[in-house]
Amino acid sequence: MCHLIWNKRNSIIFRGEGLEVSALKKYLIKVIKDKVLTFSNAWTKHKDNLILMEIYHYFASSCQQFGFSCRSLSEMETDESEGDGALATVIGVLKRVHTIFFHDELAGGDIRQIFFLPMVLKMIRKEVLEGCKIIFSRVFPTHFPTRQHQLWKMAEQLGATCTVDLDDSVTHVVATNAGIEKSRWAVKEKKLLVHPRWIEASYYFWKRQPEESFSVDQKASS
């Protein structure tokens, strides 16, 4: 992977391959990769700089590779949504990072404190589900440490508060079955009952997704 790194005066300060860029590497570089690549086999040293995105299926070969039988965007001579597609989402995040990096009020500050990129990305991501308090119901495997589950971690990274205590402060119940106790409580108390995919979608699109699009199938309660 080739990189150009620019400073605030629009001068190139590095040109090269990979992320081995001396002391600047962990402060300034963003890595964008679709989510098919896992942290366990790549970018383990730079995962805090990684922006995961939905896989962009433009060519027919991409659809075939992942087992989709639908026509590709190129075959339909169209493209994804300009407003909320995978690429548009990442561009929006990059623009926000760019705005923070080049903000006039931050000029002259200590680069180690102000432009530590992982902190910028965490700050932006934590705005997504800010104010949400989530409880999970029968989503995790039995005896699995709840706080170690990926969904729990994703929700917290998005700024939500996760809890195991059911009380009136809970705003969302995450479940796959509408007939279990916590799901029925959510409906009775007019709380938001959502499928786990709501967290995943909000994570990959860097935006709180409409809960009604991720409702729990009422048939699951029968």
| Residue 5: per-residue pLDDT | 44
Mean pLDDT over 127-153 rounds to 96
Domain's final residue, options 91, 125, 159: 125
- pLDDT band at residue 6, thresholds of 50, 70 and 90? very low
- pLDDT band at residue 82, thresholds of 50, 70 and 90? confident
Domain's final residue, options 108, 125, 142: 125
- Confirm whether 220 is domain-assigned: no
Express each pLDDT in 143-184 by its tens digit: 999 999 999 999 999 999 999 999 999 999 999 999 999 999
Whole-number Å distance between alpha carbons of 192 and 198: 11
- Confirm whether 219 is domain-assigned: no
| Residue 177: per-residue pLDDT | 95
| Highest-scoring range by mean pLDDT, 67-71, 108-112, 162-166 | 162-166
| Residue 3: per-residue pLDDT | 45
Whole-number Å distance between alpha carbons of 7 and 25: 13
| Residue 15: per-residue pLDDT | 45
Residues 6+ apart with CB under 8 A from 146: 136, 140, 152, 164
User: Domain check: are 154 and 199 in the same one?
Assistant: yes
| Residue 2: per-residue pLDDT | 43
First-last CA distance in the chain: 52
Instruction: Please state, rounded to an integer, the average pLDDT across all residues of the chain.
Output: 77
Domain's final residue, options 83, 104, 125: 125
- pLDDT band at residue 36, thresholds of 50, 70 and 90? very low
Q: Which residue has the higher pLDDT, 19 or 217?
A: 217
* 86: nearest Cα among 42, 120, 41, 35: 35
User: Domain check: are 158 and 202 in the same one?
Assistant: yes
User: Domain check: are 110 and 21 in the same one?
Assistant: yes
- Confirm whether 222 is domain-assigned: no
Range in 92-106, 150-164, 193-207 with the lowest mean pLDDT:
92-106
| pLDDT higher than threshold 80 for residue 211 | yes
| pLDDT higher than threshold 60 for residue 13 | no
- pLDDT band at residue 109, thresholds of 50, 70 and 90? low
Range in 82-86, 129-133, 194-198 with the lowest mean pLDDT:
82-86
| pLDDT higher than threshold 90 for residue 99 | no
Mean pLDDT over 87-100 rounds to 84
Rounded to two decimals, the pTM is: 0.72
Domain count within the chain: 2
User: Domain check: are 4 and 51 in the same one?
Assistant: yes
| Residue 164: per-residue pLDDT | 96
Range of the domain at 62: 1-125
- Please count the residues of the chain: 222
User: Domain check: are 80 and 179 in the same one?
Assistant: no
The tokens of 113 are what? Answer: 């404190």
User: Domain check: are 181 and 107 in the same one?
Assistant: no
| 212 phi-psi bin (left φ>0, alpha ψ -120 to 50, beta other) | alpha
